[in-house]
Amino acid sequence: MSKSTQTLVRTSLVLAIVAINIGWFAYRASVTGTNMTKSATAFLESLDDDQLKTASMGYDDEQRLGWHFIPKKERKGLQIKHMNAGQRKTALKLLQDCMSEAGFKTAKTIMEMEGLLAALEKGRSGGPIRDTERYYFTVFGKAAADSKWGLSIEGHHMSLNFVVDNNEVTSSTPTFFAANPGVVMNETESSIKKGTRILADEELLAFKLIQMLDEEQLKVAVIADKAPREIRAAGEAQPPQDAAVGLAISKLTKEQVNVIRKLVEAYAAWLPEDVAMERMEAIREAGPVKIRFAWAGAKKPGIGHYYRIQGPTFLIEFVNTQPDAAGNPANHIHCVWRDMKGDFAIPVGK
């Protein structure tokens, strides 16, 4: 058996053993789907007629496929600011039911970060509106156990998109989170304290992996000396279909495979266990050895850096090039998980 074949077999075995140990088996995301249907129904039933017109749209409405994370004056859906206390409670219950405990905490902190940005940017004119209540909820179609419906929860630095069909989550992408600052380096009057780092694993594990690579591995993994400013296809209904580039997972050592596994898991863990398991099962079925890891930019914090992890079924992109609101360089994270087969439960090409 050749050395490369041995590496391939070893990698496959490592991933297969890991899959068995943590339960990456065929799993239907019906627990979360059922919970989401109930919560969406409760949310819609709490609204008055005018609010319902804003928060509810047809499943085939073209706005279902619209998403973005930039600060915008207007978005589809009903803004938290325009909900009463009871309605806010049902909206947040819906958010909670479509995320894991960790993912819900991250989403809530991202929303609270708007208060931090307001404090850091105080006195500046002409900037975007910073408001912790400027997040929008939209239900597409009829949220019922026997129907197909969609959900968008979106605002600055967060875009969560789901499709539930007969109480099963059939799509959970695009899933986008961001953090400005990536690491809070300044004390403010905000509830967000100095030292807060909400996307730590997504950045630190990637640094750990790139620093573990030897010279020959780096020649393949590093695709550019300078990081791009932004993730690709931001706001587009489907992910970029470029072939995967970078270092194949079959070229990693056992220790390196373990790190990239943890990195992928960090993204999957934003969502409830059954949805995360479906994502990982799809990766296993498509062949983990087809995954590639690519890097661009600096290999240490404080200077622009970017990476992507791509397999037949998924794409992860991470970029940190912009300064934060206080001017600290490369301290503004954007990261996303997309479905290479098609976001929004729409196959690529249709």
Tokens representing 264? 């992928």
| Cα angle value 161/55/52 (rounded, 5°) | 150
Tokens representing 75? 């978005």
Tell me the average pLDDT across 38-66. 99
- pLDDT score for 349: 86
Q: How far apart are CA 319 and CA 228, in angstroms?
A: 7
- pLDDT exceeds 50 at position 16: no
Q: What is the DSSP letter of 345?
A: G
pLDDT top residue among 233 and 4 = 233
Question: Phi then psi for 142, rounded to 5 degrees?
Answer: -95, 120
- pLDDT score for 19: 45
Sign of torsion, CA 151 70 112 55? negative
- pLDDT exceeds 80 at position 24: no
Read off the pLDDT of residues 155-204 as tens digits, 9 standing for 90 and up: 999 999 999 999 999 999 999 999 999 999 988 888 899 999 999 999 99
Tell me the average pLDDT across 57-70. 98
Grade residue 30 by pLDDT with cuts at 50, 70 and 90: confident
Confidence (pTM): 0.92
Read off the pLDDT of residues 256-295 as tens digits, 9 standing for 90 and up: 999 999 999 999 999 999 999 999 999 999 998 999 999 9
**Listed residue (324, 331, 325) closest to 305, CA to CA:** 331
Q: How far apart are CA 203 and CA 207, in angstroms?
A: 6
Read off the pLDDT of residues 213-240 as tens digits, 9 standing for 90 and up: 999 999 999 999 999 999 999 999 999 9
Question: Phi then psi for 324, rounded to 5 degrees?
Answer: -80, 180
- pLDDT exceeds 70 at position 3: no
CA 170 to chain centre: 16
